[in-house]
Structure 1
């Protein structure tokens, strides 16, 4: 959360509790507001001002004001509206100080009041169920702006993850397996390119949609990845990002209803999200796939995901794309009534297909795990050794974690304990660290 700053002119604040007591849940409200509102506030300000840096600085300033004001005055009835209004005022003040014409500033302000974007935050479950209207969605415009062909793929994906997903530079760097300084430079260059090239902030015309679709899908997919497995912190999942990725994916299927990979991505995200409630227990601890209560997987999301996959037969598709292949992997899990009934050989075959689309070390890791599940611990360890020898996942905790599990099954307990300790040292989130520590204790007892 940002540092505290002075609040000014913030509307719609609820009064403090009787007797002047500050609400005890202000810190949680600030955290929830950041998770749920950051992207919407920044996207709205970029549309209004046309300036990426001003938008992000103003949004950060609004959260600083909230940090100082809400404990004193109470949590606003509509935190999103409060933050958006505060951020707009900060942005417009900065533009005036830069000497932007008063008439232009007033035009932006009138547009901001008329655009209807001061609606309150949306419940993630409602977002997932209903989707949205692409005609007004600022975040979808932002995603397409970042996907302009003038920007390199990695740069526009990183910039969108920063702006739409609200990810920190270090989190994005981890996703790309590059140093944080390198990623910071990529993001800065992408912003300059958008500004200097005059790239318009809009969803492109129909004839230009196809050329940007791949980049847009990549962005939504990576936002979903961070939602499914957080790259740092005290939570395993970030359900706000999972909901945002599903919402954006729904909008894409509205914009491009015949795009098979857009439908497949939505199917993938729904099938993954169907397990969200069972991936952690009441204490927030990780529950592995084999131990999850499948009766509590979301049947509606599974049904919708499978129905999306069923649209279009293999005979009418020239080839399966990466998102369809991943969705089909998730469908294998969704169709298995128990963990023991999972067709791991089919999953390994789909990872073989997926590896032909992209030379990804993460795909190779998951393929190796599927091979081990299908053919036994020895086969899994052999496949994992090949992944380790490539060196691209050095420092990634799930590689030694997977090796520890197969070593445990093979009865090689001393080696399993050593790899489990390596995974604990690398684990980026507290739930994963606690899970691995429990596994280490079980290995040590045996």
Structure 2
């Protein structure tokens, strides 16, 4: 028997991430080897997981990845004492199904891997009704097994008694209760939690959360409930997307941090070499590289600094004269002519593309994307199909260059964020998760 728990909830905002980090650290403090995963497209949570356990956490995505890829990625948990996976949104929230995999819902991964679900339930404003919600989730989809619940933000001992009694009446085990005013909260910003590297005391904060759950949650009982019958483990995955080059110069700092660990591992597994540079520190890509990759992040928070970093801008432009440069989302915006921040101030970007973007009037762009390339990009030929996602608040003011791809959302509808190519520079608003198979 193996042990795993997939931590999910009826909706976002219930405290999944805080509980996930606290459990990961609490079990690690007991001497267990804990391997974390994140279900769905998310850059920030896996970095928090890594701080809690000291091990890289990777994403699993049933819409963008086929089953073989997911099983191969989870092979890293074969030698762990406990696998903890964090869900996204509500347990069954996803999009239209895709072939043999799924909708992108957390429940897809739970059923595929046989992992029992630990439900984080916030019963604020209700009592016995919370048990009806939990029972409905338990019974909604055959093949998804619920281990039990943790109650978060409980108002009082009387409130706890009412909810516990109702849970017992429908056969759902309560593994612990956290109070409404627990002193643990992680700061947030418009794309989710603030990045792990921006916290000066993140490990200490996770330690406090771990001590709280050790006092209030039945860790021994939860560990027993985590047991499941695992199948044979696949070997670690090869690249889920072809490396963009043999020697990759990767922008990496607080403005360019959104790239999936499974992508980097896959590129390295395919033989690529990756060197990093910091545009925020006014560094240029290595002249020994044969391709430059600018991932997403928060360039809008650092636009003035990037505009003034002449060594970076001149070095990137010189690089692009002879070798390809590609940007994803934030990286795409920095490859453009200008970026208007939320105050309305315009900042000159690198000008490798004609893209103009603005945060002065914010509008959320969120969802899965399937792109069919109209022209080549680094590592991919025209006609290649890529699965990924888009999540940003920028508005396109101008996108005058040659379209990079025909891009559709999960329903098949064409979206206007086509990406661009000019010369050796290319960029997209969507982040690649895997090649379409």
TM above 0.5, yes or no, is no
Q: Structure with the greater relative contact order (CA < 8 A, sep ≥ 6): 1 or 2?
A: 2
**Larger helix proportion of the pair:** 1
Is the strand fraction higher in 1 or 2?
Answer: 2
Give the TM-score taking structure 1 as reference length: 0.30
